């Protein structure tokens, strides 16, 4: 636990007892591997049904934005599906899009009057965003968004791999 409302944990985000967990989704919202696969697997078909509904009405979720669904069978009642950028070398607006994915998630949680939120390390798996670069973007974006979301009491960064856990511990201690 550190100052403000930020904490870092090592483990599986699907087990978090918070108001919403964030998914590292893709624009199509139809599931995938990584944490997306784990969330749909643990949360059951209600999450996918809600994602299909959003696809039908909005056509999906653009990169850098987020949408909210039920948490299905998860301990968390809601899942916020945030779409981070695919790393393409760093000159394709990746930094701003990653920051936007975090900020949009915090804003959406605030709109829904949620108080506790847990993030995975968006884009640092299958999407290939360099971990060391992503950690600062994530922390700064969440801090910036929290300044406009006073109802949010705690944000957890749930790191699955050792390298991300080490980086977040270093930055937040
Ligand atoms: N809990 C917490 N973090 C996890 C878990 C888990 N259960 N499983 C993996 N991670 P990734 P991306 C971490 O690949 O890079 C999907 O197919 C993992 O160690 O899940 O944003 C989507 O559908 C890594 O640090 O997401 C998209 O198509 C972090 O989660 C695409 O992958 C993100 O890795 C998104 O790629």
Q: Quick: pLDDT tens for 43-100.
A: 999 999 999 999 999 999 999 999 999 999 999 999 999 999 999 999 999 999 999 9
- pTM given for the model: 0.97
Is residue 36 annotated as a catalytic residue, yes or no?
A: yes
As for ligand 1, residues whose beta carbon falls within 6 Å of it are 12-14, 24-26, 32-36, 38, 84, 120-127, 158, 160-161, 164
In terms of Cα–Cα distance, which of 154, 82, 77 is closest to 116?
A: 154
pLDDT tens digits for range 84-131: 999 999 999 999 999 999 999 999 999 999 999 999 999 999 999 999
CATH tag, 2-172? 3.40.220.10
Q: What is the Å distance from ligand 1's center to 38 Cα?
A: 9
Q: What is the Å distance from ligand 1's center to 9 Cα?
A: 16
Query: Which pLDDT does position 29 carry in this prediction?
Result: 98
Q: What is the Å distance from ligand 1's center to 152 Cα?
A: 24
User: Any idea where the domains of the chain sit in the sequence?
Assistant: 2-172
Three-class SS of the chain: CCCCCEEEEECCHHHCCCCEEEEEECCCCCCCCHHHHHHHHHHCHHHHHHHHHHHHHHCCCCCCCEEEEECCCCCCCEEEEEECCCCCCCCCCHHHHHHHHHHHHHHHHHHCCCCEEEECCCCCCCCCCCHHHHHHHHHHHHHHHHCCCCCCCEEEEEECCHHHHHHHHHHHC
């Amino acid at each position: 636990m550190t100052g403000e409302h930020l904490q870092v944990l090592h483990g599986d985000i699907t087990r978090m007892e918070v108001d919403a967990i964030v998914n590292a989704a893709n624009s199509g919202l139809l599931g995938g591997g990584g944490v997306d696969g784990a969330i749909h697997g643990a949360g059951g078909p209600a999450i996918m049904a809600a994602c299909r509904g959003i696809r039908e009405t909005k056509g999906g979720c653009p990169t850098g934005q987020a949408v909210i669904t039920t948490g299905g069978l998860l301990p968390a009642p809601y899942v916020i599906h945030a779409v981070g950028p695919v790393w393409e070398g760093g000159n394709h607006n990746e930094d701003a899009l990653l920051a936007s994915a975090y900020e949009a998630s915090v804003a959406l949680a605030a709109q829904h009057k949620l108080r506790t939120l847990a993030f995975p390390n968006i884009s640092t798996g299958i999407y290939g965003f360099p971990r060391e670069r992503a950690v600062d973007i994530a922390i700064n974006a969440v801090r910036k968004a929290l300044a406009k979301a006073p109802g949010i009491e705690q944000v957890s960064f749930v790191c699955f791999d050792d390298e991300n856990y080490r980086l977040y511990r270093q930055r937040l201690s």
